[in-house]
Amino acid sequence: MRIYAKKVEADGYKFDSEMEYLYYCELKTRMEKGEIKDLIIHPVFQLQPAFTKNGKQWKAMNYEADFQFYDNVTRSLRIVDVKGMMLPEFEMHRKLFEYKYSHYELEVLKYSKTTGWVKIEDYAKAMRTRRQIIRQERAEYKKKLERITWLNKRIKDLKERESLTTSQERMLKDYQDQIESLMK
């Protein structure tokens, strides 16, 4: 999968996306307020050292996070990666990171217009819940529409008759009332 994120250069750093740059701007503001300290941009973590096998040299495998800083508010070291979406390559690096650096927590954040910065897992869960609610609303709307269609057909059938009995007139009025209540 090809990612078309727009790269941004600022303060001597190259950010992989505008979203990553926006988080950097937020971190700079927090650092000025004294909420965080020791900000490192693009810290590198070795996942596997270089080695030689059968005469072939293998390079070390490294993971470059987006940010590392000490959060004075939560009193914890935070390692943050900003993502728009999770790709298989990142999933592998994350798994290796979590194994080797089990004493650190790697936070993967995404920006949501409604809630701001959220963990990507929480965002995905919220989106699944939202899609489920939309499906339920559509199903209810479809049922209402089917009921209104059925009622309109019955009303049409009743109105086509030359004369209506009292019970048919009540039925016609009841159908019209049902349609009115369903339209609310």
**Residue 23 falls within a domain, yes or no?**
yes
Total domains in the fold of the chain = 2
Q: Tell me the mean pLDDT in the region 171-177.
A: 87
Using the 3D structure, point to which of 83, 112, 141 is the last residue of a domain: 112
What is the rounded distance in angstroms from the CA atom of residue 168 to the CA atom of residue 173?
9
**What is the greatest pairwise CA distance in the chain?**
100
What is the rounded distance in angstroms from the CA atom of residue 64 to the CA atom of residue 14?
13
**Residue 58 falls within a domain, yes or no?**
yes
Let me know whether 25 and 74 are in one domain. Answer: yes
**Cβ proximity of 63 and 157 under 8 Å:** no
Domain containing 138 equals: 130-182
**Residue 86 falls within a domain, yes or no?**
yes
The pTM for the full model equals 0.67
Looking at residue 1, what is its pLDDT?
47
Let me know whether 93 and 35 are in one domain. Answer: yes
pLDDT in tens, 51-82: 999 999 999 999 999 999 999 988 999 999 99
What is the rounded distance in angstroms from the CA atom of residue 73 to the CA atom of residue 50?
38
Let me know whether 95 and 138 are in one domain. Answer: no
**Residue 119 falls within a domain, yes or no?**
no
What is the dihedral angle through the alpha carbons of 97, 99, 104, 107, rounded to the nearest 10 degrees? 50
Looking at residue 166, what is its pLDDT?
85
